Chains A and B, each alone.
Chain A
Amino acid sequence: MQDFSTAFSLAFSLIFNADADLIEIIGLSLSVSFSAVLFSVIIGFPLGAVTAVVRFPGRQVLAIILNALMGLPPVVVGLLVYLVISRAGPLGWLNLLYSPTAMIIAQTILITPIIAALTRQVIEDLHKEYEEQLRSFCVPVPRVVMTLIWDARYSLLTVVLAGFGRAIAEVGAVIVVGGNIDHLTRVMTTAIALETSKGDLALALALGIILLVLALSINAAAYILRGSAQRSAYA
């Protein structure tokens, strides 16, 4: 028990004194996950929306694949990315292994299917409502897609959050391709794993608390935003 209380008080002192290492780790975590979410949104929104709106052969198959890929095991993604960017891999010459870029790539692959599959569901529901009206206005397909994405923006915010939650909390992919190198690729989850195994519970706990607070506050912000959007009938 003594250990735990010491760990907790140490953790809080790290947080309140804004420990440099702690700040660095949090900063890298956020920048890697935000970047991954950004790229996933750029790919996933249009991909999901097009799958929802355009009738093409293989549409159902694509929808099923996207749904299935939502459950991709992070370590497997990490392994695949590792194989591609390791020295002997096809993109080895880019020297990406054990860099934040490699971590962003792995997380992007991990969460793009989540963003795309959830976007497809959201857009499909809205399209049911809008379809006849948009066809009546003779709106071309690219503008239909843009219109639906814009009008579903508040629901899509939840989708983005689901992706962000998955990215910031996963450890398997980033540890394989990032390597958990101090001051270079150490993020919150990999640091927690390492410090726990070393028995240094204070830093692990401090990071764990921050991770929880982050997750809670981002979700709370989204909840409030969505609530106000619903009140103005935009969601």
Chain B
Amino acid sequence: MPDINRQSLPLLPLVVQNLSYRVGQKRLLDNINATINSTGVTVVLGANGAGKSLFVRLLHGLLKSDLHAIKWNGRVQDLATRKRQALVFQKPVLLRRSVSANIEFVLKKSLFKPRNANFIQQRDAVLHEAGLFEQRNQPARLLSGGEQQRLALARALATQPEVLILDEPTASLDAATTYQIETRLEQARDQRIKIFLVTHDIAQARRLADDVMFMHGGRLIEHAPANVFFNQPSSEQAKAYLEGRLLF
């Protein structure tokens, strides 16, 4: 049995087997099966209500699924696997503190650890990288929408995740900010961080995806490499979605 706690063992492959999720009688996710072994960007694509956000929350362990439905390198999702992942929400949840205190929050492993020079240096590096060093003393929640999301992304990356999950991170951002976020994601991919990106934006999926999981009505309709998916989608629903037809 491999010990996944050892940093040397990767989290991938991710194997999802017969994953369903229901609330009361309503089945919100229906029997999803997938194996993801490649690094790079996996785009989870689909219309609103397809179950995309639910799916990634289950992957991250924020919601509980059947114990054996999700396995990271043979191990069930638990605190140890979640610690090696980070999730960026559509609406950034920023602490009611300064920009730099938001970064410090994740860098500080314990409450009473003193801030030494190394710590400050690390924090400032994160702020510089996010282009938020000038704003470091501002209240985080007074930043613009785009800056807030950049801070949330920088904070997530500061935890040095092996898997980064993003739930529609640019859904309410303009083109320029979306470009900044996407550039940062490409850098993260180059640093061999596995990325799961939830989006309903086909253009964004085309720009970033290495493989695409297309979801509709709580089911995984198609999972294919990006070029295959965009050029020859095998399902009617995916074809319709890519052509911009309405799906019900």
Contact = CB atoms under 8 A, between A and B. Distances in A.
17 contacts: A132-B57, A132-B93, A133-B89, A136-B60, A136-B62, A136-B87, A137-B86, A137-B105, A137-B159, A138-B82, A143-B111, A151-B95, A232-B139, A233-B139, A233-B140, A233-B141, A235-B96
A135 B62 contact: yes
A3 interface: no
Interface string A117-130: 00000000000011
A146 interface: yes
Contacts of B82: 136, 138
B141 A147 contact: no
A151 B97 contact: yes
Contacts of A129: 93
Interface in B106-150: 106, 111, 139-142
Give the 4 A-B CB pairs with smallest separation, nearest first.
A233-B141, A133-B93, A151-B96, A232-B139
Interface of A: 129-130, 132-133, 135-138, 143, 146-147, 151-152, 232-235
A232 B159 CA distance: 27
B83 interface: yes
B97 A234 contact: yes
Contacts of A132: 57, 62, 87, 89, 93
B79 interface: yes
Question: SS class of chain B's interface: helix, strand, loop or mixed?
Answer: mixed
Given A136-B62, A137-B106, A234-B139, 17 more contacts: A130-B93, A132-B87, A132-B93, A135-B62, A136-B60, A136-B82, A136-B87, A137-B105, A138-B79, A146-B111, A147-B95, A151-B95, A232-B139, A232-B142, A233-B96, A233-B140, A234-B97
Given A146-B111, A233-B139, A233-B142, A138 B96 contact: no
A234 to B, nearest CB: 5
A235 B96 CA distance: 7
Measured as residues with beta carbon below 8 angstroms from the partner, the interface class of chain B is: 20 to 34
Contacts of B86: 136-137
Contacts of A136: 60, 62, 82, 86-87
Nearest to B80: A138
Interface in B30-80: 57, 60, 62, 79
A126 B7 CA distance: 34
Interface in B143-165: 159
A50 to B, nearest CB: 16
A147 B83 CA distance: 19
A233 B111 CA distance: 24
A106 B96 CA distance: 35
Nearest to B61: A135
Contacts of B79: 138
B102 to A, nearest CB: 11
Contacts of B106: 137
A233 to B, nearest CB: 4
B152 to A, nearest CB: 9
A84 B60 CA distance: 53
Contacts of B97: 151, 234
B59 to A, nearest CB: 12
Contacts of A133: 89, 93
B96 A234 contact: yes
A232 B101 CA distance: 14
Contacts of B95: 130, 147, 151
